[in-house]
């Protein structure tokens, strides 16, 4: 029987978690007071009632909380603190590899550029990693160490109230078509990501595209992703979260996506909006076969999908079960620990309770999280780490599941 204590003990990954959506609420309140940022409430209970709710009307309401979290994360000290606390929160529930993503341009102003932002967050993550890895059980090799990577997010669209950086960019190019301005910002961010990785040695492992899908196609950002692709920076794209399969198609064909953020509508022909696609079932079949064959992993975020899709009444309606039946590569992620009030352990437990996740598939998706990570080290280092994780996982299986333990997995 899969229990919450077993899930908590397991080595896990979170490959899709937003820094600004995962700030501790007490930290949000502290920083708001320090930086004079008005909040609708200054208690955790009040903020959970007014901002961070169990359900939202739609994705737009879900994103309103980011205005508050982003407003307090405008200094190096605040960014470092948030990075440290996010890593610490993950460590406490058994997450051993974390890929934290955020949009540096939301924090850029006259005192900080994108590289400064990245360096500040990295200091917090690194400090938490080093403290954890000094523990005797980890330093001895008895347990897997904690590692992390940083994923840089470009925005599909933005408005002048998103940040000082975006406001200045829009004003400087007031006669330029908006989609060209969005593309400029993405290209500038790709350059900053490469500088942070290549000149400062930061573990910037991936480039992402986030934001509203409808009306803001991924192809507008193709130049920035082409730059990332040519410089061996891995790519993940938010797609199929609030739009149909054609959004996922653009992500893999135009942006060279190695993974897909969400991908909830991949197998839904009815979600296709492109009138030029006449045979929707065939389109979905060919797209899903392509993704399955190339093991393009879907970063599944159960709670946030339930919260932002009013048509989904319960998790039993989520496509995760169907994705697994098609043997697609999936991994369970949190998306936003605070906005969705969740953890990796909780997300896995939800899949067990509502989507019939058994011990075999549980093992598969957790191990695939490590295998399909954008590991910041060498391939051989990654193989050795994955092997250690599998061995440790299987030792915990024998303790908790006994004869019910699934067969051993290879590290390849």
- pLDDT over threshold 80, residue 243: yes
pTM value? 0.96
Percent of the chain residues topping a pLDDT of 70: 98
Q: What is the mean pLDDT of residues 253-273?
A: 97
Can 403 be counted among the known catalytic residues?
Answer: no
- Give the SS3 label for residue 130: helix
The pLDDT value recorded for residue 385 is 98
Q: Hunting for tokens 């937003």 — which residue is that?
A: 18
Considering the candidates 241, 246, 299, 347, report the single residue annotated as catalytic. 241
Measured CA to CA, the distance from residue 311 to residue 59 in angstroms comes to 12
Give the C-alpha distances (Å, rounded to integers) separating 64 from 21, 51, 190: 10, 7, 26
Which residues lie below 8 Å from residue 280, measured CB to CB, with a gap of 6+? 269, 270, 272
- pLDDT over threshold 80, residue 127: yes
**Domain spanning 4-404: CATH superfamily:** Metal-dependent hydrolases (3.20.20.140)
For 300-309, write each residue's pLDDT tens digit: 999 999 998 8
DSSP-derived letter for residue 159 is: -
Measured CA to CA, the distance from residue 245 to residue 61 in angstroms comes to 23
Q: Hunting for tokens 């991949």 — which residue is that?
A: 266
Q: What is the DSSP string of 11-80?
A: -EEEEEEEGGGS--HHHHHHHHHHHT---S-SSHHHHHHHTS-SS-SSHHHHTTHHHHHHHH--SHHHHH
- pLDDT over threshold 80, residue 407: no
Which of 46-60, 178-192, 354-368 is least confident? 46-60
Average pLDDT across the chain, whole number: 95
Q: What is the mean pLDDT of residues 245-261?
A: 97
Q: Where are the domains of the chain?
A: 4-404
For 217-228, write each residue's pLDDT tens digit: 999 999 999 999
- pLDDT over threshold 60, residue 412: no
Q: What is the mean pLDDT of residues 293-303?
A: 97
Largest Cα–Cα distance of the chain, in whole Å?
A: 68
Residue 246 is encoded by which pair of tokens?
């054609």
- pLDDT over threshold 70, residue 410: no
User: 238: pLDDT confidence band, cut at 50, 70 and 90?
Assistant: very high
Q: What is the DSSP string of 76-129?
A: HHHHHHHHHHHHHHHHHTTEEEEEEEE-GGGS-BTTB-HHHHHHHHHHHHHHHH
Partnered with residue 234 across adjacent β-strands are 206
User: 40: pLDDT confidence band, cut at 50, 70 and 90?
Assistant: very high
- pLDDT over threshold 60, residue 133: yes
The pLDDT value recorded for residue 409 is 67
Of 56 and 206, which is predicted with more confidence?
206
Percent of the chain residues topping a pLDDT of 90: 92
For 150-197, write each residue's pLDDT tens digit: 999 999 999 999 999 999 999 999 999 999 999 999 999 999 999 999
């Amino acid at each position: 029987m899969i229990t919450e204590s077993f899930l908590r003990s397991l080595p896990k990954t979170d490959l899709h978690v937003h820094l600004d959506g995962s700030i501790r609420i007490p930290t949000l309140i502290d920083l708001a007071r320090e930086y004079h940022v008005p909040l609708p409430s200054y208690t955790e209970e009040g903020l959970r009632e007014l901002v961070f709710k169990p359900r939202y009307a739609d994705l737009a309401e879900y994103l309103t909380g980011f205005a508050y979290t982003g407003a307090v994360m405008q200094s190096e000290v605040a960014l470092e603190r948030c990075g440290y606390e996010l890593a610490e929160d993950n460590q406490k529930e058994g997450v051993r590899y974390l890929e934290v993503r955020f949009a540096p341009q939301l924090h850029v102003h006259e005192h900080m550029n994108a590289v400064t932002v990245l360096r500040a967050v990295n200091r917090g993550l690194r400090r938490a990693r080093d403290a954890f890895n000094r523990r005797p059980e980890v330093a001895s090799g008895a347990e897997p160490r904690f590692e992390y990577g940083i994923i840089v997010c470009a925005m599909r669209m933005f408005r002048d109230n998103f940040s000082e950086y975006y406001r200045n960019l829009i004003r400087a190019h007031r006669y330029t078509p908006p989609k060209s301005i969005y593309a400029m910002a993405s290209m500038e961010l790709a350059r900053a990501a490469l500088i942070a990785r290549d000149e400062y040695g930061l573990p910037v492992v991936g480039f992402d595209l986030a934001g509203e899908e409808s009306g803001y196609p991924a192809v507008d950002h193709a130049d920035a992703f082409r730059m990332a692709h040519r410089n061996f920076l891995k790519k993940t794209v938010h797609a199929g979260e609030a739009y149909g399969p054609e959004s996922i198609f653009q992500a893999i064909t135009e942006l060279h996506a190695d993974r897909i953020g969400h991908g909830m509508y991949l197998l839904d022909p009815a979600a296709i909006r492109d009138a030029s696609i006449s045979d929707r079932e065939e389109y979905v079949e060919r797209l899903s076969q392509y993704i399955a064959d190339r093991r393009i992993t879907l970063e599944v975020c159960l709670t946030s999908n339930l919260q932002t899709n009013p048509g989904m009444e319960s998790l039993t309606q989520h496509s995760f079960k169907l994705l697994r039946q098609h043997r697609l590569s999936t991994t369970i992620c949190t998306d936003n620990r605070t906005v969705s009030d969740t953890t990796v352990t909780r997300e896995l437990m939800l899949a067990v309770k509502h989507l019939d996740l058994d011990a075999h598939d549980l093992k598969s998706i957790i191990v695939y999280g490590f295998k399909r990570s954008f590991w910041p080290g060498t391939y051989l280092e990654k193989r050795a780490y994955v092997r250690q994780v599998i061995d440790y996982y299987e030792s915990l299986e024998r303790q908790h599941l006994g004869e019910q333990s699934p067969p051993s997995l290879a590290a390849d």
